[in-house]
């Protein structure tokens, strides 16, 4: 069998001629053929990258930006699918043009389009799908880029669904709903063995990189790659790779003396220990399902593992629905059926909550997470006692860790603006990703013998932790005013003298799910000062999370108000 290096070298020599002597369309066609071949022979993705890279360069030279953009989308896919070993062989066995293509792929992957560009990306992919309706793989690749670049955003979610549907057209599996519980077949086993081989190769590569890190920046980059490999291995029950990867990650975290990274490793290692033990216990059930896919006891055991421990609900619910526990069977069937009715959402939440509180450890956390997801969908449409009851449960769930909110991938559906102090202006400052305000970084100055607010920066809580936004007003802030743990900004009382804002008082309310609890609040001390003769303006978010600010200023802050979350949806709605 030819080695990967020899395959890459062969492809490179075949393409070593000048791009100027070849037609871009021919290169594109060769790339498409190689891309399709890579679905069965993974190393063909290297050839696809070379062809697409040369085609992109040729289209650039021909000033055909539409076709060049298409090639970049295919290159994005190639870069994501190439293993570290394939990339290394690509660079070692290739010529100068291969290096240039590798740089192009890296630049394409690093590009960070603004959220408002998602529509344009989606429209381009839609246009491509109309031109080539039978090319399901190519259409899936185009939408994959959007789903990957705009994770959690509306168009990203639509693109993910579209990409999956196109891939299902290739595999012949249903695109929607839940896959039925069925025995494992030889084709699935071959696919998994191929994926496992890829993980083993990636493990060798990252371990080699970890042994040769040069400086903290390099170590953190490798740590991210190792942790991603660990997560992929966990998702696929490949505990050998997961354990090895987590050990490598632990060594990197210890070398960096980074407590946060060390905490991430501890979480992964605890998860691996739990899952590995339980996976061993259900092996007999898995074997049973190979010959009898309707066995109730085996379905229940496998379903609990997949749903309660892996949180792969779509995959696991059909097993629970065929299981031998009538209560879980009913809950699973109702979950599969789904609903847009808020009352049924709350009923689904109740069903999983009642099960979750009986459990311990990872199972308890994951089942309650499922329950709270339904509660969060239901709450905006409820009122009275029903709403209070659910809000109490949601509040208890989030009380100890606000970052759990981001595990539900909330998406802003609509927002509203408070009254503005000082006038009116449409300029708005928000966090690039979903986040809400937990503090301000303020810059104070002086004017006519009194303090004045020159500007401030919102501090958002995001899935990555606190993030400082751009300034509102004329200058960045230099002193932080933060909410207590579990609280977020809900309002500001603003004092304005004759010419300038002289001070403000911040109001914080306890976070309750994806909203605030007006019955649990406190005020900060005055920042700056205020007098009886000052004009006071109260800015309020009406119990909603503050997600940004409106405002303007020159050298000093002149106008500002709050932007708050009006309605949201969760990933998967």
Residue 341 carries which DSSP code? -
DSSP string, 183-252: ---HHHHHHHHHHHHHHHHHHHHHHHHHHT--SHHHHHHHHHHHHHHHHHHHHTT-HHHHHHHHHHHHHH
pTM for the whole structure: 0.60
CA 556 – CA 567 distance, rounded (Å): 33
Contact 235, 310 (CB under 8 A): yes
Contact 433, 463 (CB under 8 A): yes
CA 80 – CA 147 distance, rounded (Å): 13
Q: pLDDT value at position 182?
A: 40
Dihedral over alpha carbons 335, 339, 344, 348 (to 10 degrees): 20
From the CB of residue 340, how many other CB atoms can be counted at a distance below 10 Å? 8
Topology adopted by domain 410-570: Vitelline Membrane Outer Layer Protein I, subunit A (2.100.10)
Q: Which helix (H) or strand (E) holds 306?
A: none
Contact 380, 437 (CB under 8 A): no
DSSP string, 322-357: TSS-HHHHHHHHHHHH--S-HHHHHHHHHHHHHHHT
Residue 344 carries which DSSP code? H
Q: pLDDT value at position 16?
A: 41
CA 203 – CA 206 distance, rounded (Å): 5
Terminal CA-to-CA distance of the chain, rounded, Å?
Answer: 48
The packing angle between helices 84-93 and 96-110, to 10°, is 140
User: 223: which 2 tokens?
Assistant: 């740590």
Q: What share of the chain is helix, strand, coil (3-state, %, to 5)?
A: 55, 20, 25
Closest residue by Cα to residue 446 from 555, 354, 284: 555
Show me where the domains of the chain are located.
4-171, 186-281, 410-570
**Residues paired with 488 in a beta bridge:** 509
Q: What is the pLDDT along the chain (573 residues), one digit of tens a residue?
A: 444 454 444 444 444 434 443 578 888 988 998 888 887 777 788 888 888 998 998 888 888 888 899 999 999 988 888 776 677 666 665 567 777 888 888 888 888 888 888 888 999 999 899 888 888 899 989 998 988 888 767 787 788 878 877 877 765 443 333 333 343 343 444 455 567 778 888 888 888 888 888 888 888 888 988 999 999 899 888 888 899 999 999 999 999 898 888 888 999 999 999 999 999 999 899 888 878 889 999 999 999 999 999 999 988 999 999 999 999 999 999 998 876 666 788 899 999 999 999 999 989 999 999 999 999 988 888 888 988 898 889 888 888 778 888 888 888 889 999 998 887 777 888 888 899 999 998 888 877 778 888 888 899 999 888 988 887 776 665 788 999 999 999 999 998 887 888 889 999 999 988 889 999 999 999 988 888 888 899 999 989 999 999 877 777 788 888 999 998 888 755
CA 460 – CA 466 distance, rounded (Å): 5
User: ∠ CA(468), CA(470), CA(473), 5° rounding?
Assistant: 125
508-to-230, 402, 505, 519, 545 alpha-carbon distances in Å: 39, 15, 10, 11, 10
CA 262 – CA 259 distance, rounded (Å): 5
Length of the chain: 573
**Cα torsion angle, 206, 207, 212, 215, sign:** positive
The residues near 88 (Cβ < 8 Å, ≥ 6 apart) are 205
């Amino acid at each position: 069998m030819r080695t990967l290096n020899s395959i890459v070298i062969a492809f490179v020599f075949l393409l070593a001629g000048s791009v100027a002597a070849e037609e871009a369309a021919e290169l594109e066609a060769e790339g498409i053929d190689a891309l399709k071949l890579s679905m069965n022979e993974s190393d063909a993705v290297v050839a696809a990258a070379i062809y697409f890279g040369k085609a992109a360069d040729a289209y650039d030279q021909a000033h055909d930006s539409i076709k060049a953009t298409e090639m970049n989308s295919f290159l994005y896919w190639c870069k994501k699918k190439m293993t570290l070993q394939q990339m290394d062989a690509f660079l070692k066995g290739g010529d100068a043009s291969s290096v240039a293509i590798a740089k192009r792929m890296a630049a394409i992957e690093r590009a960070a389009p603004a959220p408002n560009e998602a529509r344009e990306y989606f429209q381009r992919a839609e246009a491509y799908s109309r031109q080539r309706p039978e090319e399901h793989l190519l259409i899936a690749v185009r939408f994959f880029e959007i789903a990957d670049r705009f994770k959690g955003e509306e168009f990203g979610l639509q693109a993910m669904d579209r990409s999956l549907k196109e891939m299902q057209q290739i595999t012949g599996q249903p695109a929607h709903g839940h896959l039925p519980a069925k025995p494992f077949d030889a084709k699935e086993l071959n696919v998994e063995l191929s994926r496992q081989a890829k993980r083993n190769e990636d493990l060798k590569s990252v371990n080699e990189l970890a042994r040769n890190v040069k400086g903290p920046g390099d170590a953190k980059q490798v740590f991210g790659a190792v942790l991603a490999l660990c997560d992929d291995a966990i998702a696929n029950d490949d505990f050998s790779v997961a354990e090895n990867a987590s050990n490598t990650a632990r060594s990197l975290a210890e070398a960096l003396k980074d407590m946060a990274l060390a905490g991430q490793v501890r979480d992964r290692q605890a998860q691996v220990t739990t899952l590995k033990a339980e996976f061993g216990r259900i092996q007999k059930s898995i074997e049973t399902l190979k010959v009898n896919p309707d066995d109730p006891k085996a379905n229940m055991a496998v379903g609990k593992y997949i749903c309660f421990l892996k949180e792969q609900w779509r995959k696991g619910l059909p097993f629970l629905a065929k299981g031998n526990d009538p209560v879980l069977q009913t809950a699973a069937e109702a979950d599969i059926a789904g609903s847009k009715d808020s009352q049924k959402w709350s009923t689904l939440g109740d069903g999983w909550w009642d099960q979750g509180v009986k459990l311990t450890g990872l199972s308890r956390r994951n089942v309650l997470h499922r329950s709270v997801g339904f509660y969060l969908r239901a709450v905006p449409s409820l009122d009275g006692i029903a709403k209070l009851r659910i809000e109490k449960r949601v509040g208890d769930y989030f009380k100890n860790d606000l970052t759990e909110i981001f595990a539900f991938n909330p998406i802003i559906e609509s927002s509203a603006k408070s009254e503005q102090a000082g006038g009116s202006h449409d300029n708005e400052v928000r966090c690039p990703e979903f986040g809400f305000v937990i503090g301000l970084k303020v810059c104070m100055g002086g004017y006519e013998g009194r303090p004045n607010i020159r500007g401030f920066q919102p501090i958002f809580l995001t899935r990555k932790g606190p993030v400082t936004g751009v300034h509102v007003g004329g200058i960045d802030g230099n002193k932080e005013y933060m909410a207590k743990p579990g609280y977020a900004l809900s309002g500001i009382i603003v004092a304005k003298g004759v010419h300038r804002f002289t001070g403000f008082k911040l109001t914080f309310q306890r976070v309750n799910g994806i909203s605030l609890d007006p019955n649990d609040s406190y005020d900060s001390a005055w920042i700056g000062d205020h007098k009886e003769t000052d004009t006071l303006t109260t800015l309020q978010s009406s119990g909603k999370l503050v997600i940004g600010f409106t405002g303007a200023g020159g050298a000093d802050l002149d106008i500002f108000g709050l932007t708050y979350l009006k309605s949201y949806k969760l990933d998967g709605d």
